Structure 1
Amino acid sequence: MKILLVSWEYPPVVVGGLGRHVHHLATELAAAGHEVVVLTRRPSGTDALTHPTVDAMVEGVRVIAVAEDPPEFDFGQDMMAWTLAMGHSFIRAGLRLLAGERSWTPDVVHAHDWLVAHPSIALAEFFDVPLVSTIHATEAGRHSGWVSGPTNRQVHSVEWWLVTESDSLITCSASMRDEVNRLFGYDAGDITVIHNGIDVRTWPFAPSPRTSGPAELLFAGRLEYEKGVQDLLAALPRIRRSHPGTTLTIAGDGTQRDWLLDLARKHRVAKAVNFLGAVGHEDLVALMHRCDAIVLPSRYEPFGIVALEAAATGIPLVVSTAGGLGEAVQEPDTGLTFEPADVAGLTAAVRATLSDPDAAAQRAIRARARLTEEFSWAEVAERTAAVYLAAKRRVRHPVGRPDIPLRPLPERDPGNPVES
């Protein structure tokens, strides 16, 4: 097949897990013999003079990285305007480099998240081919059901439009499938769940350390409210009462860093918490090999690829059951779990892990063994290609704007997917 993947991040421009997901999917599809083109972007804050559009073969994939247009939009301040401008540049580059100069027509367009809704819908319409979309997260999910702010409502409406226009949908977990069904009314039976994969070769295994001194816990991820680091900081004083000297290393950055620093001081654990900021791959692997357990206390998590990466390295897992984390980690076989926002449950799970390091190490070994069976990128690519083959471009009909509630989104009424 000829496959056009559209993503707002792709190496070397990587914001989070989505960029890594699309990269691995693209290279595995190419390795399987498909002709893959990725339409993506150059870094933010650049222009066509400093960072012109690039059209090159990379790892068997044709990557078209589009230059930013000159109008001055900043993602942090003008998110919707910036997103629309990016989409406009994608469409122009796609038509010129695909339909024009080299006359390449895809068999399917695959959109990754709402930020590329406009170019993906436009290009699928132009080429008259099926549109497949992977919904990696939702605005309502990230904000506990609330989409009352102007930007929240705009993002939610674009997500609704992308879902409505898609001929097939993919989610990375069963919980995400149910969320899309509840929010947008897309029949859950028509959504394919394909878990994220992992390349275990880049996350080498090492046995969990056996130390007699104080324990070291690790958190790795973005410092955002939905990641639940605030609950881990609240639990740390309790953990230190039963396991004196326990420290917490936080690898990652985000908008909530200053707030979390204040919380660490409020809970009187500031000296026991080390905020490292963003760390590179090798440093993160070294941290996973060094620490006694990784704690992922997410309140919202469509999948949680960090859990797979951690499992590959052999570090014991202590995670919330939020979304895909509850599917990726199976208690008691591969890790210990707790309910999202349950500080007492988090404390108990960490204490149990630290109190019996031999049992924790055995869970870690089983967790890594499960990765090679269920989460290989070759398996992900094969299942995704099957979705492409089955997708059929349906007849389009005009649709009105969604009715977006000001309060938390309710359980879906089958007759009104976004009932107010």
Structure 2
Amino acid sequence: MRVGFVVYGPLDGRSGGYRYDLELVRGLRAAGDEVTVISLPERPYRHRLRDNVTSLSRLRSLDVDVLLQDELCHPSLVGVNPRLGDDIPVVSVVHHLNSLENLGTFRRYIRRAIETRYLHSVDAFVFNSETTKETVSAVTDPDPSVVAYPAGDRFSEYGTPLDDEEIRARVAEGPLRLISVGNLEPRKNIDGLLRGLARVRDDWEVTVVGATVDDEYVVSLHDLVSELGVADRVTFAGRLSDEDLATALRQSHLFALPSHYEGFGIAAVEAMGFGLPALVSSAGGANELVTHREDGFLVDPTDPSAITDAVAPLCRDRELLTPLSLAARDRFVDHTTWDEMSTTVREFLVGLVS
């Protein structure tokens, strides 16, 4: 099968949807498919609309059986798909809808219109969760489609899943150590996490891992930790290599990323392999992964006190971590692998092509 795959920028190991796309391409190639990656330039949203002309000429020249498009690229493709013809199925890989992010009313309206038009222009969908499928169903028919959950087994060479002995031994070590992994942008709600943690009186520290996406937001985070008086407890680590990230996860007690919205949450799955309960948002697809107070916590991202209420008891009584940590590890073990994800998607694509 000859597959085209449209993405923004290089197809590398960045977190979230980029990791999903990378693992899908690897899986398709491992199955013997010929995959051509079409990289579109990463620009501010309004400039991406200008790329429709050049995108059309590039995609028309492809000799493929099926064309995959990361839905993130919708502003560069909204005018392209209707002009591609009907002989090659166009499949959108949807991680989450951009129009669901925290935007001003006018910008949300404009992006919703552009994104909806794009979603109407494709032939089929790959969704990362049932929740993501539901959000698309609000604007267009979400079928034909397949739901293929992201996996978290990329750290297997670093010892995941952790065994019971290592998890139990780590529980009482030092202050409660939290780790947050994700691009630094307002949607990830690191500011809400910091506000919630600042209200916890007992000992804790947090490492924030992720590349800077929004410079102004990162500046505001540094100002916030000073304002809250917690600068000595917060480490901004930037983007880490897989080896360094695995080390940081192994040394932590709790994963925390209460995003305003996540289609699913790959970083949370990866953390659970290290026996870290996941403190994540109740908004989005995380409830398909995390069971509240069993292997993590589902919190309202707009309510910092919900974060405080989840973390404070763990600081006071560290033994509460043990069953949560073991359950998180077990949830990881039961979860799908990247090979299984790519197999699920490939079977769907073969059905479309045939």
Q: Contact between 1:214 and 1:247, CA under 8 Å: does it hold in 2?
A: yes
Q: Contact between 2:152 and 2:269, CA under 8 Å: does it hold in 1?
A: yes
Q: Which moved more, 1:384-393 or 1:190-199?
A: 384-393
Matches within 5 A, 1:33-44: 33-41=32-40
The number of residues matched between the two structures is 343
Q: Contact between 2:101 and 2:261, CA under 8 Å: does it hold in 1?
A: yes
In 2, distance between residues paired with 1:286 and 1:29? 30
Counterpart of 2:148?
A: 194
Secondary structure of the equivalent of 1:187? coil
| Higher Rg of the two aligned structures | 1
Counterpart of 1:412?
A: none
Name the aligned partner's letter for residue 311 of structure 1. Answer: M
Query: What is the CA-CA distance between 1:163 and the residue it aligns to?
Result: 0.8
Name the aligned partner's letter for residue 38 of structure 1. Answer: V
In 2, distance between residues paired with 1:119 and 1:320? 30
Counterpart of 1:81?
A: 47
What is the TM-score with the length of structure 1 in the denominator?
Answer: 0.72
Name the aligned partner's letter for residue 233 of structure 1. Answer: L
1:213/1:30 Cα in 2 relative to 1: closer, same or farther (>3 Å)?
A: closer
Per-residue CA deviations over 1:386-405 (Å, capped at 9, x if unaligned) read 33244489xxxxxxxxxxxx
Matches within 5 A, 1:129-208: 129-143=88-102, 146-149=104-107, 152-182=108-138, 184=139, 186-188=140-142, 190-200=144-154, 201-202=156-157, 204-205=159-160, 206=162, 207-208=166-167
Per-residue CA deviations over 1:163-210 (Å, capped at 9, x if unaligned) read 10111122212222222222x2x1356553221123342553343424
Query: What is the CA-CA distance between 1:111 and the residue it aligns to?
Result: 0.9
Matches within 5 A, 1:5-404: 5-12=5-12, 16-41=15-40, 75-76=43-44, 79-82=45-48, 84-85=50-51, 88-96=53-61, 98=62, 105-115=63-73, 118=76, 121-122=80-81, 125-126=84-85, 128-143=87-102, 146-149=104-107, 152-182=108-138, 184=139, 186-188=140-142, 190-200=144-154, 201-202=156-157, 204-205=159-160, 206=162, 207-208=166-167, 209-239=170-200, 241=201, 243=202, 245-252=203-210, 253-255=212-214, 256-391=217-352
Counterpart of 1:48?
A: none
Q: Contact between 1:167 and 1:392, CA under 8 Å: does it hold in 2?
A: no
In 2, distance between residues paired with 1:203 and 1:311? 14
In 1, distance between residues paired with 2:83 and 2:317? 54
Query: What is the CA-CA distance between 1:142 and the residue it aligns to?
Result: 0.6
Query: What is the CA-CA distance between 1:35 and the residue it aligns to?
Result: 3.0
In 1, distance between residues paired with 2:194 and 2:127? 31
Task: Give the gaps of 5 or more residues in structure 1.
Answer: 45-74, 99-104, 394-420
Name the aligned partner's letter for residue 92 of structure 2. Answer: S
Name the aligned partner's letter for residue 112 of structure 1. Answer: D
Instruction: Choose between structure 1 and 2: higher helix proportion.
Output: 2
Task: Give the gaps of 5 or more residues in structure 2.
Answer: none
In 1, distance between residues paired with 2:243 and 2:82? 38
Q: Percent identity?
A: 24
Query: What is the CA-CA distance between 1:258 and the residue it aligns to?
Result: 1.1
Instruction: Extract structure 1 runs of 4+ deviating beyond 6 A.
Output: none
What is the TM-score with the length of structure 2 in the denominator?
Answer: 0.85
Secondary structure of the equivalent of 2:199? helix
Q: Which moved more, 1:206-215 or 1:372-381?
A: 206-215
Q: Contact between 1:40 and 1:90, CA under 8 Å: does it hold in 2?
A: no
Query: What is the CA-CA distance between 1:24 and the residue it aligns to?
Result: 0.4
